[in-house]
Chains A and B, each alone.
Chain A
Amino acid sequence: MRNNPVAGLVTTTLVLAVIFTLVPLPETAAWFRPDIVALVLMYWWLAHPEKIGIYTGFFMGLLLDVMQGSLLGVHGCGLVIIAWIFLKNYQRIRVLPLVQQALIVFFVLLIKYFIGFWVDNHRIQGFSGTLLYFAPCLTGAILWPWLFVTLRDLRRRAGT
């Protein structure tokens, strides 16, 4: 990691994101918890598309599934699709204003959560998911500009 500052920074931010996902919140707040792992991954797909690829998303997805006790592959499915969208279009998304980026983030998160919703709906009889299930997309989009600026500063300071 010492001779590879990118890997060090990416690993550190991802571990912090995972810990944030694990911190217990009160029930109402937990519904609105932004999917911070996906957001951090999105930033790195934009910043270093040649180093952080689609497989990182896949493995983080597996980790999230084990952490949250969901079906293996649910998170991975959403994350690889987001990775594909971002890696295909990173040159375009990078130069957009932050508000438009946030809008894109909202829609790609919606795709990810829709996959989760659909799988849970099929798997569990009487699944009680409501519109609240998609609340993290909104909070994720609101958080995006701040996260983007913070991570950009971190990255510049680390000189990568």
Chain B
Amino acid sequence: MQGSLFQRNSSLTLRLFFCLVICCVLMWVDHRYTHLQAVRHSIDYVVSPLRYMTNLPFAAWDWTSNQFRSHQALLAENERLTEENLALTSRQQKMDVIQRKNQRLRKLLGTAQSIEEHTIVAELVRVALDPFKQQVTLNRGTNDCAYSGQPVLGAEGIMGQIVHTGPFTSTALLLTDASHAIPVQSNRTGLRTIAQGTGHVDQLELLHIPNNADIELGDLVISSGLAQRFPAAYPVAYITDIQRDPGQPFAKVMATPTAALDRINEVLIMWPSHFGKNDSELQACLERLQNRSASQRQIEEALSNEK
């Protein structure tokens, strides 16, 4: 490039415009359509290792602190978990009966609906994202059959949905992000509404609730499953504030998510029962996943037998 200083400068502006046009097209397409998922997916091959690298010190710290935990603490935790498990199993038995009854009744009515939902556990990868968006990174990607739009649940309720998937990691948008909304209904009255994120980690706004609607502080709001994206009847939020202003067409209702969105480390990603019945690719992927875990279990059993 010796002596070509000015030649270079003359084509620089051209290159700038070229890049700017590409950027604008990318933004427009990414905003309107879903074609760019493939591009994101392939760039993710570069990003995932970096994410894991950043997460490594934290994972190592977790591992060491686990290794050095006292016998006493482990025993106590074990006892607590056993008790909890007992309580949950007894409740599950009741649930099984109710579920079967429900299915029988539905069959009588002619509206068969399977309630089985498939879930796997995902862990949060501790990397930073845009501080002005409510997002988290999970350690499951398309290799674990995660898909864009998939519901993410915590132990206490719905947390959000996956928006971008890479091969090994994915990004989930939380309920409270300003660009997120979820169809919900009141558990007490069945009143249907939409819970819109506010950008604050503990606040949702319930939209379009008339001033005279039957709604009270502390009401539980559950997912209605109307948009076919989230499973129905999972807890979403508690109502924390109602302002009825007669001058306004709607009441201003705020709610707090039931799941501790800023404190959870492990989440469930879920394949709702209604989803993927017609999607053969996803079905095949899920089958592969099940085979993989089954063969893993076999290997583990063989190993423990040898011992």
Contacts and interface: CB of A to CB of B under 8 A. Distances in A.
B275 to A, nearest CB: 23
A71 B133 CA distance: 12
Contacts of A72: 26-27, 29-30, 36, 39-40
Interface stretch (B6-14, B61-69, B222-230, B241-249): B6-14
A80 interface: yes
A79 to B, nearest CB: 9
Interface string B7-41: 01100110110011011111101110000100110
Contacts of B20: 77, 80-81
B268 interface: no
Contact of A126 (B53, B132, B135, B199): B199
A23 B19 contact: no
Interface residues of B, number: 49
Interface in B164-188: 164, 166, 171, 173, 178-179
A89 to B, nearest CB: 10
Interface string B235-272: 00000000000000000000000000000000000000
B110 interface: no
Nearest to A59: B43
A126 B39 CA distance: 29
B50 A19 contact: yes
Contacts of A19: 50, 53-54
B198 interface: yes
A71 B127 contact: no
Given A54-B19, A71-B31, A127-B178, 18 more contacts: A21-B128, A22-B51, A22-B128, A30-B131, A54-B12, A54-B15, A55-B15, A66-B43, A67-B50, A69-B164, A69-B173, A71-B30, A73-B22, A74-B27, A76-B22, A87-B12, A126-B198, A128-B199
Interface of A: 15, 18-19, 21-25, 27, 30-31, 33, 50, 53-55, 57-58, 61-63, 66-74, 76-77, 80-81, 83-84, 87-88, 119-120, 123-129, 133
